[in-house]
Amino acid sequence: MEFNFRIPIINKLKHIRVNYSQPTEISNFSIDINRELQMDNRVMKYYYPMNMKYNDLTEGFETFDRKIEKPEPLDNLLKVLKEKNHLTFKNENEKKPHVITWRGLIVKIMCLPYLRNSFFELVVCNYNNILYIQESREKKENITNNDITQQKFCYSGFKFEALSTIPIPPEEIDKSENNKVLLEERVHDIVNNKEEYGIIVQSKLNNIRLIMGAEVDCAERKFSPNETQKPYVELKTTKIISNSQEENNFERYKLIKFWAQSFLVGIPKIIIAYRNKDLEVEKVSSLSTLKIPHIVNQHHIERQQKNKLNQTREIAKDLKKGSNFNIKKYNHEPWNANVCLAFAEIFLNWLKHEIVNVSDPNISYTVTFDSEVNKNFIHVKCNGSNSGFLPNWWIN
């Protein structure tokens, strides 16, 4: 069995009313240096601004302790839910989620209306009328493993995290000389991406109840478990922005993902390191997650006003050429947060409806978007019996 989902045009999505409830953290966990799951926050880090004297994000690349890159199954997420008794939804229908997944997969879906030159392949299972979604393939081909330049770009992000975090709350740094040593040690410590601190949140996208697991980079300060919004921080790197075109590209293709990633799980702040071509940090700035859509829209208006004269000249040139004139070339609208949320809601509701009658943990569906094949459809294919991926201990 195969079927397709046609991606709605953006103008239709703009007018759909969407409400996304404040995400609530229901649990946390750690993945230690041995990639073992721990039911606590032992590897959680705290943000402490980097020393700009040590701004080389390639330092220590040769000793990078890197995890094996592969799609993340749902097993750890389900283990935490089981271990910490977050299972009331199995017997209380009013609390039962409609979707259990990793945050990053919802990000891929949310951003699709604006990032159509992309690829994702997910696998979905319907069990007890809950959609379980995990990744099947991240890329069609993994061509970066042997590319040293690409590896260094990847490493630079983890190096920035290492230079900007400490294992104790920042307010404790000045309490002893031993604590201050942490700031010196982090400069030359071996960088690894094996350790991860994660949270599990529940939220609601209109009528769709979501449970999502997500990695969190660090916290801004010590906090109480009872705080409604934890002071988490997302750390990002990007190339330095030199002109309005680069600003437009950054906001259009990267900032949309930065926003979606933090917004979905309630991370209030994003700290961005701007690096030069030598992968050296030139400046660091912060953004409020909730303000990003407004900032993007405001910058778009400012660029339109600034470039109005230049656009008029370019349009005149195109008019002289005749057939090549395209007004859309000069009027790229900024992305809209409501469009992203509306699309995610429509697609998840459609997917739930299509496979609602197949509540069988032994049957899975592959969900694929491949821009090289078709930019207008998401393809869904049933994988038949014995294709399920949920662990037996969860089903039983």
Inform me whether the pLDDT recorded for 152 exceeds 50. Answer: yes
Evaluate if residue 1 carries a pLDDT over 60: yes
What's the pLDDT score for residue 143?
46
Report, as an integer, the average pLDDT of 196-203: 98
Strand 2-6 and strand 377-382: the pairing is: antiparallel
So what's the pLDDT on residue 212? 99
pLDDT digits (tens, 9 = 90+) for 40-67: 999 999 999 999 999 999 999 999 999 9
d(CA 306, CA 224): 47
Residue type, 59: E
Lowest mean pLDDT among 35-39, 92-96, 205-209, 392-396: 92-96
| Arithmetic mean of pLDDT, 304-319 | 71
Q: What is the pLDDT of residue 330?
A: 46
> What pTM did the predictor assign?
0.91
Q: Are 127 and 377 in contact (CB under 8 A)?
A: no
pLDDT at 318: 65
Amino acid 396: pLDDT: 81
Q: Is the pLDDT of residue 329 over 70?
A: no
Q: Which residues pair with 211 in a beta bridge?
A: 100, 202
* DSSP SS3 for 253: helix
Q: Is the pLDDT of residue 158 over 60?
A: yes
Q: Residue 77: which of 42, 27, 41, 137 has the closest Cα?
A: 27
Return the percentage of the chain with pLDDT > 70, whole number.
90
Name beta bridge partners: 124. Answer: 133, 365
Q: What is the pLDDT of residue 259?
A: 99
Average pLDDT over residues 318-327: 58
Residue 306 pLDDT: 80
Average pLDDT value for the chain: 91
Element (H, E) at 5: strand 2-6
* Predicted pLDDT at 93: 54
The closest alpha carbon to 371, from 186, 104, 24, 115, belongs to 115
Task: List, in order, residues 6 or more apart from 339 with CB less than 8 Å away.
Answer: 10, 13, 14, 113, 114
Question: So what's the pLDDT on residue 331?
Answer: 55
| 362-375: average pLDDT | 95
Residue of 131 and 176 predicted with greater confidence: 131
Using the structure block, give the residue that is written with the tokens 């995400």.
23
Q: What is the mean pLDDT of residues 142-152?
A: 75
Half-sphere exposure of 324 (CA within 13 A, CB side): 7
Please state, as a whole number, how many other Cβ atoms lie within 10 Å of the Cβ of residue 256: 25
Could you tell me which residue, 238 or 309, shows the higher pLDDT?
Answer: 238
Kind plus residue range of the DSSP H or E element containing 214: strand 208-216
Q: How far is CA 180 from CA 104, 175, 219, 309, 336, in A?
A: 35, 9, 19, 54, 44
| Spatial distance between the Cα atoms of 198 and 42, rounded to a whole number of angstroms | 11
pLDDT, tens digit (0-9, with 9 covering 90-100), for 235-280: 999 999 999 899 999 999 999 999 999 999 999 999 999 999 999 9
State the average pLDDT over residues 83-95.
Answer: 64
Residue 267 is predicted with a pLDDT of 99
Q: What is the pLDDT of residues 103-132, one digit of tens each?
A: 999 999 999 999 999 999 999 999 999 999
